[in-house]
Structure 1
Amino acid sequence: MSRRSAPAPSPPETRREVVTETLHGVDVDDPYRWLEADDDAVREWTDEQNAHVDAALDDGLRDRLRPRFADLVEVADYGPITVREGRYFATVREPGADHARLVVRDAPDGEDRVLVDPNAWPANRDDDRPPRSMAWYVPSHDGERVAIGVTEGGDENYDVRVLSVPDPSEPGDESPATEGDGAGVEEVAVLPDRGRVNAGSLAWAADGGGLVYVATGGAADGAQMDKEIRRFRFADGPDDETVLLEHDDQHVWPRVTVDPDSGLLAVAFSEMVGGTEWYVHVDGDLRPVLTDTDAETSVRFHDGTAFVSTDHGAPRRRLLACSVDRFREGDLSFEECREVLPGSEGIIQSVVPTPERLLVHRQRDAHSRLSVHDRDGTRLSEVSLPSYCSVTWVSGNRDAPEAFFGLTGFDRPPAVRGLDLADAPEVEDDEAVGNVRDEAEHDEDGDAPEISSTAIDSVDLPVPDDLVVEQRFVDSTDGAEVPVFVCYREDVAVDGPRPTQLYGYGGFRNSITPSFGRFRLPFLADGGAFAAVCARGGYEYGEPWHEAGMLGDKQHTFDDFVAAGEALCESGLTDTDHLAVAGGSNGGLSVGAVVTQRPDLWAAAQCAVPLLDMLRFHRFLLGESWTTEYGHPEDPEAFEYLRAYSPYHNVDPEATHPPVYFTTAASDTRVHPSHARKMAARLQNEAEGGPFLLRTKSETGHGVGKPASMIVDEQTDSWAFCYEQLGVEVGDDA
């Protein structure tokens, strides 16, 4: 199956030390458990595996591909715009820079003033130190301060720094207060302790004088599941931090949000894939608000209103509302809230409130729609969007009728767009604007007028004129019709089936939607095709689609990958000698499962930061929290279906397996690298076929904070593997 002209080198030797456990009356052998350790023996084995990758990959291919990826990384990247009191915050990675800078503007398209530049941090100018990066930021409600999360080596344990935002009207010190901070920027505080605090678990006090955040222990001491909600006031200092709540349920994660008008602190407790319970913190106690429910619910406060987005009574979500005062009282039922947007064919992804308007993002058949409504839910207009696109984020101005969103697609480089919501017509007559209040009863492509967005920032990458984008539907098990996106260059001559990469995920309510892959451009230019399968377990059709690919129905996810691969071959686009499958994290589990279940279908597989030992995943890092998605190996019923598909336990020594390229990270604080280690060892020593390669990075984690130079290295190796196994000839241009 490999296209190498010479045999692949033999992999390093891996010792077998069989550990046998009896689980629910079944003897389970684990010959490579010693690779779960992080000791010198494992590090030596990992180094040998990395050397094996370098020997196995074609140097000539890598040399020809690297300049193309180096060119593709040297374009600007733009992050979401966050508006606070007339200040517009954003991240921008300039061409040639490894890391994005945090900037602030006085207008959406105004001049950038640098607040944070990680490229100037000493650690990022020292080759002997792990790189540090800014993973997230959260400005205060008044825009005068900003909290940033700093990671070292790409793990997901963050140091939280709080910085001042200088007033542009006041002359500032031309030299930064701290190296890497902009002129006039001062460090206000550093939060004590390092943990998994992130942008979703940190909220500013209404007056900007402090923070509420969810702190955890670190991965090194196995305390990532230990959680506290803390209040920090700058005037008090770090030693006077208040612990509002200790929380040790490994399956539930708290989130915090603060109403900037009233100062009300709301706390959500949600399982990774289960329901959400909401409380408010009043007079030192947590008061229950929405607690007697299995629904997944989010809350957003604006101008005296609590907007509640929920799948209670609407599998594809609906929007409810009540007053903030009523929310504060507690013991609220969904029935008491007024319905603003009922459930419909499109899934409500997010709603952004502004003073008189709501910007609503829906997905239908896994691509995006945007509409503008008044605050009662009346649809005023549709936002003009291209076909098969994704809105990647939305944000708004709390104080003005403006909003922003990210836009991308298979044929559309990422762009930041702005909307003047005042362009949406005033409501005089529902019929005059083609408006229907009950959206469950009408076609969302109705006759509401369209409004246009304006360009603010866009990535400068050429889109081939001959790029074809299609959405197909394939039949899978239990009568499911599964969407598959396909893109390829129509005018590129290909002699026979196209080399094709099929990508998917299928879990945790994550939807696969159209996206622009800059590093796919050379592959498409050289005659390749890219396909993305919307496998069950995601959220493409709401909670029922998710539930159809979790727990005892997880096999449906793998069935959908297989159905997509078979359909691509049957259509004549490709065949089994030219079809690769790819995925990462939970998607890496999908890849491992379909490689062991249908090794004959694939010419190659790319498996990144994967889960693969499904009988021990709960014992490492965040694994216990995922048992609500996969089931618990200590439960006899779950054990049976987990054992039936666990890739590590289902390697057939009699079957010929396709070449597999595993990637993992020594600093991954989410999925332990032992999954990839053990699977690679088992395939190398017990399976036919291959080669089976394992690349381990030492200065990155699950995917956070990678410098551009590391991205180029990773893309070069990954695509060199794909080109070689699928027989792709390298062209002269991308």
Structure 2
Amino acid sequence: MSRQSAPAPSPPATRREVVTETLHGVEVDDPYRWLEGDDETVREWTDAQNDHVDAVLDDDRRDRLRPRFDDLVEVADYGPITVREDRYFATVREPGADHARLVVRGAPDGEDRVLVDPNAWAANRDDDRPPRSMAWYVPSHDGDRVAVGVTEGGDENYDVRVLSVPDPSETAPNADATDGYGAGVEEVAVFPERGRVNANSLAWEADGEGLVYVATGGAADGAQMDKEIRRFRFADGPESEEVLLEHDDQHVWPRVTVDPDSGLLAVAFSEMVGGTEWYVRVDGDLRPVLTDTDAETSVRFHDGTAFVSTDHEAPRRRLLTCSVERFREGDLSFDECREVLPEGEGILRSAVPTPDRLLVHRQRDAHSRLSVHDRDGAHLRDVSLPDYCSVTWVSAARDAPEAFFGVTGFDRPPAVRGLDLADRAGGDPDEDDSGEAAPAESTAIDSVDLSVPDDLVVEQRFVDSTDGASVPVFVCYREGVEVDGPRPTLLYGYGGFRNSVTPSFGRFRLPFLADGGAFAAVCARGGYEYGEPWHEAGMLAEKQHTFDDFITAGEALCESGLTDSDRLAVAGGSNGGLSVGAVVTQRPDLWAAAQCAVPLLDMLRFHRFLLGESWTTEYGHPEDPEAFEYLRAYSPYHNVDPDETYPPVYFTTAASDTRVHPSHARKMTASLQHEAEGGPFLLRTKSETGHGVGKPTSMIVDEQTDSWAFLYERLDVEPSGGNE
């Protein structure tokens, strides 16, 4: 098979206006800086690029793939269960619906009572208005109210709406309403300022009559980095909102939590990828608690105890405790706390307390383990889980021995499971024949109703990368599907910001696997698969290790005979899009195609846009001479070689992205189209969406259809008739 398909239509013309800057004594040319703007000329260029995508992509492949993807969303999706006393909150997307609804139940598997239905909002039925979606929700401690984050156009700037919650045991009609609220649901308050408020930066006060939250300015006025901690009491009205703290450090983000028993407000200040300092608010002032440390630390309050999860002297994390009263006193050291869960072989991801138990989630070699412990940390039993799975979330009731978790895997659609943590008769766990505690079995509550083929193989391989690193790579494919020659293969990765790549179910991968394809995921350095050392090995001056791991994984897949460089594609988004851009410019011969979504690609100017300045703790600062050297060495936009032939690349970005500026994808596309050989190089820009939050299902299907049609053509895959 030839690496070059039939000649593609010529790309749109792009004017070249070289801007030359001298940075640290080095002249740097930027011929497409005008694409950083947002004027009519840029919009016309973007529209022309979208037309070019439609001209290049094969309509026959799109038409044959689209019905298969439509079938894959005609099933319900389920979000985490959050328990507040006798109320069970969850999100449910009905088959074929664009958005999930927020519901409340009187029991984990009880009847859904609708609280919010974004599908009924007028904006989602009017083509002339940007679509609105509900991105998150936080119930009050007693469950009587719930705060929801509403975004317009998916831009991650939210209105916060506080709603009353009816008693789920009372029957009420769930008739559609134009305001999108269920029967008996009323708006208690609305915070009309759109900013980057999210579920981690909002906390209910103990009495449920007020909120504390972190507010920022909006992206439009460039104020996303201006932060305030505010307190709002419903009885006082929005005009009496109190500013507790103004915070202007661009690299540090506050988050808040409240102990529902004592009402203690705790505030954490953490860099995007650095250490965490904790304070408590006492008598109107912030009192330092854990401040003299570079450790990353999280705190959870429960029944008079502060549970402190930290990587202090434990790269894979450990769990400590102290009393809430001692935490309130301040000036706490880690040595004063009692160690409940020592550092283990796996990464401690969470420890969720109930009245008598801890449900502990660890990841070992990037897949999950769950175990039940007593409150002193003694191991009681493991929880039965499938091989190579990911526990995606864990929650529990505060005052009852019940817990819930989500589980998924490459061969396992997402499912919601329940777990009874009550003592068994006799007090001790049952034992199996070996004398070990028998695994605890969970119960099914909700699951995505998609079948997985019996012949789907899931493997974990380890490849030797630079500096002696052994890097995990997951591989899955259909053993029973015959393929003529090497398999068409898609390698995915991320590698940054402590984000781990773990087993995940991809419904839109099912047709590709059915048509003989293979999917691989590399756990590149920069993530958190092996704790903070793994992260640090792929950040700042060590960032090249991330790209080495991608390249090594790709080479190993070829050497194993699974695929070859004519049928191997690479994909990633956001920081993963940076990884894709780097490995395409460093090893263009290794890939038959690349997908690069909402990426960072100009690493000498990323800090000048949106949230970019806060990422300098991960990447280094271009204004620092030492960081400039290594950033310039791998910055994809600055390493396009006009004498090199590059594989086809499909870039995607969003006009309303408030996280990564769309100019990265624009400038890189222009550079490849007009400065390099190979391709085609395509750029799809979506309007009325952002970095990925709140996309309607119909938009996701559109994107997936285009994305896979591109891969099918470039990897020489013919679509079959089904997904199984």
TM-score for the superposition, normalised by structure 1: 0.97
Q: Could you give the per-residue CA deviations for residues 199-229 of structure 1, whole angstroms, max 9, x where no partner exists?
A: 0000000000010000000000000000000
SS at match of 2:694: coil
**Structure-1 separation of matches of 2:639 and 2:7:** 26
Give runs of aligned pairs for residues 271-286 of structure 1, distance below 5 A. Answer: 271-286=271-286
8 Å Cα contact 1:2-1:725 kept in structure 2: no
**Structure-2 separation of matches of 1:263 and 1:699:** 40
Which residue type is aligned with residue 477 of structure 2? Y
In the alignment, what sits opposite 1:100?
A: 100
2:674 matches 1:685: yes
Q: 2:648 aligns with which of 649, 659, 662?
A: 659
2:433 matches 1:456: no
Which residue type is aligned with residue 219 of structure 1? A
In the alignment, what sits opposite 1:443?
A: none
In the alignment, what sits opposite 1:726?
A: 715
2:341 matches 1:341: yes
In the alignment, what sits opposite 1:697?
A: 686
In the alignment, what sits opposite 2:324?
A: 324
**Structure-2 separation of matches of 1:510 and 1:712:** 25
**Structure-1 separation of matches of 2:246 and 2:175:** 42
Aligned residues: 723
Moved more, 160-169 or 596-605: 160-169
Which residue type is aligned with residue 347 of structure 1? I
In the alignment, what sits opposite 2:522?
A: 533
2:658 matches 1:669: yes
In the alignment, what sits opposite 1:486?
A: 475
Which residue type is aligned with residue 293 of structure 1? T
Q: Are the structure 2 counterparts of residues 200 and 55 from structure 1 closer, same or farther at C-alpha, using a change threshold of 3 Å?
A: same
Q: 1:597 aligns with which of 562, 583, 586?
A: 586
Give runs of aligned pairs for residues 124-163 of structure 1, distance below 5 A. Answer: 124-163=124-163
Which residue type is aligned with residue 492 of structure 2? Y
In the alignment, what sits opposite 1:11?
A: 11
Which residue type is aligned with residue 567 of structure 1? A
Which residue type is aligned with residue 728 of structure 1? V
8 Å Cα contact 1:78-1:91 kept in structure 2: yes
Q: Are the structure 2 counterparts of residues 622 and 199 from structure 1 closer, same or farther at C-alpha, using a change threshold of 3 Å?
A: same
In the alignment, what sits opposite 2:465?
A: 476
Once the 2 structures are TM-superposed, how far is the Cα of residue 176 of structure 1 from its aligned partner? Answer: 7.5
Which residue type is aligned with residue 694 of structure 1? L
Q: 2:631 aligns with which of 619, 630, 642?
A: 642
In the alignment, what sits opposite 1:444?
A: none
Which residue type is aligned with residue 422 of structure 1? A
SS at match of 1:335: helix
Q: Could you give the per-residue CA deviations for residues 264-297 of structure 1, whole angstroms, max 9, x where no partner exists?
A: 0000000000000000011000000000000000
Q: Could you give the per-residue CA deviations for residues 338-380 of structure 1, whole angstroms, max 9, x where no partner exists?
A: 0000001111001110000000000000000000000000000
8 Å Cα contact 2:429-2:437 kept in structure 1: no
2:499 matches 1:504: no
Q: Are the structure 2 counterparts of residues 26 and 402 from structure 1 closer, same or farther at C-alpha, using a change threshold of 3 Å?
A: same
In the alignment, what sits opposite 2:40?
A: 40
SS at match of 2:561: coil
In the alignment, what sits opposite 2:25?
A: 25
Which residue type is aligned with residue 731 of structure 1? S
**Structure-1 separation of matches of 2:167 and 2:87:** 10
In the alignment, what sits opposite 2:608?
A: 619
Give runs of aligned pairs for residues 211-610 of structure 1, distance below 5 A. Answer: 211-422=211-422, 447-610=436-599
8 Å Cα contact 1:550-1:630 kept in structure 2: yes
**Structure-2 separation of matches of 1:711 and 1:168:** 32
Q: Are the structure 2 counterparts of residues 607 and 194 from structure 1 closer, same or farther at C-alpha, using a change threshold of 3 Å?
A: same
Once the 2 structures are TM-superposed, how far is the Cα of residue 434 of structure 1 from its aligned partner? Answer: 9.4
SS at match of 2:193: coil
SS at match of 1:451: coil
Which residue type is aligned with residue 550 of structure 1? M
Q: Are the structure 2 counterparts of residues 424 and 390 from structure 1 closer, same or farther at C-alpha, using a change threshold of 3 Å?
A: farther
Supply the RMSD in Å over aligned alpha carbons.
Answer: 1.6
Which residue type is aligned with residue 630 of structure 2? Y
**Structure-2 separation of matches of 1:359 and 1:678:** 48
Once the 2 structures are TM-superposed, how far is the Cα of residue 193 of structure 1 from its aligned partner? Answer: 1.4
Q: Which runs of 5+ in 2 are unaligned?
A: none
**Structure-2 separation of matches of 1:315 and 1:356:** 28
**Structure-1 separation of matches of 2:320 and 2:203:** 23
Once the 2 structures are TM-superposed, how far is the Cα of residue 168 of structure 1 from its aligned partner? Answer: 3.9
Q: Are the structure 2 counterparts of residues 430 and 549 from structure 1 closer, same or farther at C-alpha, using a change threshold of 3 Å?
A: farther
Q: Are the structure 2 counterparts of residues 538 and 427 from structure 1 closer, same or farther at C-alpha, using a change threshold of 3 Å?
A: farther
In the alignment, what sits opposite 1:711?
A: 700
Q: Could you give the per-residue CA deviations for residues 167-204 of structure 1, whole angstroms, max 9, x where no partner exists?
A: 24557687788721000000000014110000000000
8 Å Cα contact 1:413-1:460 kept in structure 2: yes
**Structure-2 separation of matches of 1:2 and 1:72:** 32
**Structure-2 separation of matches of 1:137 and 1:631:** 34
Q: Are the structure 2 counterparts of residues 59 and 305 from structure 1 closer, same or farther at C-alpha, using a change threshold of 3 Å?
A: same
**Structure-1 separation of matches of 2:389 and 2:46:** 40
In the alignment, what sits opposite 1:88?
A: 88
In the alignment, what sits opposite 1:442?
A: none
Which residue type is aligned with residue 613 of structure 1? D
Once the 2 structures are TM-superposed, how far is the Cα of residue 647 of structure 1 from its aligned partner? Answer: 0.2
Q: Are the structure 2 counterparts of residues 74 and 4 from structure 1 closer, same or farther at C-alpha, using a change threshold of 3 Å?
A: farther
8 Å Cα contact 1:417-1:457 kept in structure 2: yes
8 Å Cα contact 2:17-2:34 kept in structure 1: yes
8 Å Cα contact 1:526-1:731 kept in structure 2: yes
**Structure-1 separation of matches of 2:635 and 2:697:** 34
8 Å Cα contact 1:380-1:425 kept in structure 2: no
Q: Could you give the per-residue CA deviations for residues 96-143 of structure 1, whole angstroms, max 9, x where no partner exists?
A: 210000000000000000000000000001111111000000000000
Moved more, 403-412 or 125-134: 125-134
SS at match of 1:179: coil
Once the 2 structures are TM-superposed, how far is the Cα of residue 7 of structure 1 from its aligned partner? Answer: 1.4
SS at match of 2:665: helix
8 Å Cα contact 1:177-1:184 kept in structure 2: no
SS at match of 2:376: coil
Once the 2 structures are TM-superposed, how far is the Cα of residue 428 of structure 1 from its aligned partner? Answer: 6.2
SS at match of 1:507: coil
8 Å Cα contact 2:363-2:369 kept in structure 1: yes
In the alignment, what sits opposite 1:64?
A: 64
8 Å Cα contact 1:3-1:727 kept in structure 2: no
In the alignment, what sits opposite 1:440?
A: none
Which residue type is aligned with residue 394 of structure 1? V
Q: Which runs of 5+ in 1 are unaligned?
A: 436-446
Once the 2 structures are TM-superposed, how far is the Cα of residue 448 of structure 1 from its aligned partner? Answer: 3.6
SS at match of 2:236: coil
Which residue type is aligned with residue 90 of structure 1? A
Q: Are the structure 2 counterparts of residues 177 and 212 from structure 1 closer, same or farther at C-alpha, using a change threshold of 3 Å?
A: farther
**Structure-2 separation of matches of 1:338 and 1:432:** 32
8 Å Cα contact 1:666-1:673 kept in structure 2: yes
